[in-house]
Chains A and B, each alone.
Chain A
Amino acid sequence: EVQLVESGGGLVQPGGSLRLSCAASGFTFSIYWMSWVRQAPGKGLEWVANIKQDGTEKYYVDSVKGRFTISRDNAKNSLYLQMNSLRAEDTAVYYCARIGAAAGIYFDSWGQGTLVTVSS
C-alpha cells in the first residue's frame, strides 16, 4: 500500500523558514516524479512544485520561485520542501503527492498533509 506521511509543519513568523518532509513507503520511490500541493484554509488546491526521479529537473509555481526549494533523497525514500522568506499567504496545508506513471502530470497518491501557519 502506498503511504506518504508529511511532517515538519507548524507556526512560523513572517520571514522565517521551515523544512517539510515526506516519508514514502509501499512503492519504489526512486522511479516516480514527486510533488508538493498546498491548500489555504477554506480555499482550493494549488500546485507548488515538482521534482524528477533523480532530482535533475524541478518546477515551481511563480509565487514560490526563489523562496522554496524541492529536493529528495532516494536512499531515504524522502521528499523535502525547504521554505524560506515565508509570508502570511503561504499559510496552508501542504500535501506530498506522487505523480502518476502514465503520460501527463497527475497526482495518484496523496499524504494527509501538514499545516503551515505563518503569523506573528
Chain B
Amino acid sequence: SYELTQPPSVSVSPGQTARITCSGDALPKQYAYWYQQKPGQAPVLVISKDSERPSGIPDRFSGSSSGTTVTLTISGVQAEDEADYYCQSADSSGTYEVFGTGTKVTVL
C-alpha cells in the first residue's frame, strides 16, 4: 500500500523556522495537503494543493514541492503552532487517499 513518510518530530525555538518534509512516490503526480491537529481537536487544513494557503491561515505557513518530497514551512514559529502536522495526498491512481505518518512540532 502507498505510504507518505514524515519525520516523527521537529523541535524549534520561538521565532525560528520549522520545516516538515513528506515523501511519497506519487507526489510528483498528486497534490499534497497539510493539516494541523492540536490535542483533543479535529484537524485543520493549513496548506492546499502543495502551496496554497486557505483563508484564515496565517502567512507564516507555506508549502513547497520538489519531486517526491513536499515541505511545510512555518516561519517565525509561535507557541500556538505546537501541534501534530499531517500531509495528505492520493495514490498514483487518484483513487485512495493517504495521510502521512505525522510530525509532532515542539516549540522549545
Contact = CB atoms under 8 A, between A and B. Distances in A.
A45 B86 contact: yes
A1 interface: no
Contact of A44 (B33, B42, B95, B99): B99
A110 B96 contact: no
Size class of the A contact interface (CB-based, 8 Å):
20 to 34
Interface string B25-42: 000001101010100011
A106 B48 contact: yes
Contacts of B30: 104
Interface string A7-48: 000000000000000000000000000010100000011110
A87 to B, nearest CB: 18
A47 B90 CA distance: 10
A112 B42 contact: yes
A95 B35 contact: no
Contact of A47 (B84, B94, B96): B96
Given A104-B49, A106-B88, A107-B88, 20 more contacts: A44-B99, A45-B35, A45-B88, A47-B88, A47-B97, A47-B98, A47-B99, A59-B96, A61-B96, A100-B45, A104-B31, A104-B48, A105-B97, A106-B45, A106-B49, A108-B45, A108-B48, A111-B42, A112-B42, A113-B42
